[in-house]
Amino acid sequence: MLTVRQIFSKDYPSGKKVFYKYTSEKYYELHIERKDKGWNFSLIEERFVAPFVKKLEEEIFEPYKEGSEFYLAELNGVESAIMVIQKMEWNNTLLIHDLYVDDRLKKNGIGRSLIEVAKKRATELGVRSITLETQTSNYPAVQFYLKNGFELVGFNTISYTNEDVNNNEVRIEMAYLIETST
């Protein structure tokens, strides 16, 4: 059985580390062409020569996430995923800082359940959209977000290093628009 509950930093005085890993066989290669009166951009699906593996370790209760809501998903009593969301007052959006699903437990509906929590909170908070970042190297995440109604809204070619394009790890911004009654 899957349960999702809100957690609080006060309950974790030593912090809460998340260990995250993804493997990707594909990526989106960014092409930028400068024109006389503008630019052409495209993201083309390509295949890595060898599977791309990324491992991350993060403390979820970082100071820059102050004011965020933290959610823990458990599958049959086992910690399975973490999601961190924050209402951004300046642009009336809900930012997904983090969505980590244990690599061994993917394909169990855990991520989809957390996205549903974010969509519900977005509606309750009256925001206009949910935004997040992922990378062109994280093909499985891009596919997951597309399946859950998110669309590409932008990218940053030097977010992580000055070699993001060459490393096929360009930051992409995705968003889910909240229906409003106007």
Q: Is the pLDDT of residue 57 over 90?
A: yes
Predicted confidence at residue 181, as pLDDT, reads 60
Predicted confidence at residue 179, as pLDDT, reads 81
What is the number of H-type helices and E-type strands within the chain?
Answer: 2, 9
pLDDT tens sequence across 132-157: 999 999 999 999 999 999 999 999 99
Contact 145, 153 (CB under 8 A): no
Mean model confidence pLDDT for the chain = 96
Q: How far, in Å, are 57, 110, 117, 123, 129 from residue 180 at the CA level?
A: 37, 27, 18, 9, 10
Lowest-confidence segment of 12-16, 60-64, 176-180 by average pLDDT: 176-180
- 24 dihedral zone (left: phi>0; alpha: psi -120 to 50; beta): beta
Domains with residue ranges and CATH for the chain = 2-177 (3.40.630.30)
Q: Is the pLDDT of residue 180 over 80?
A: no
Tokens of 18: 């998340």
Task: State pTM to two decimals.
Answer: 0.94
Q: Is the pLDDT of residue 100 over 80?
A: yes
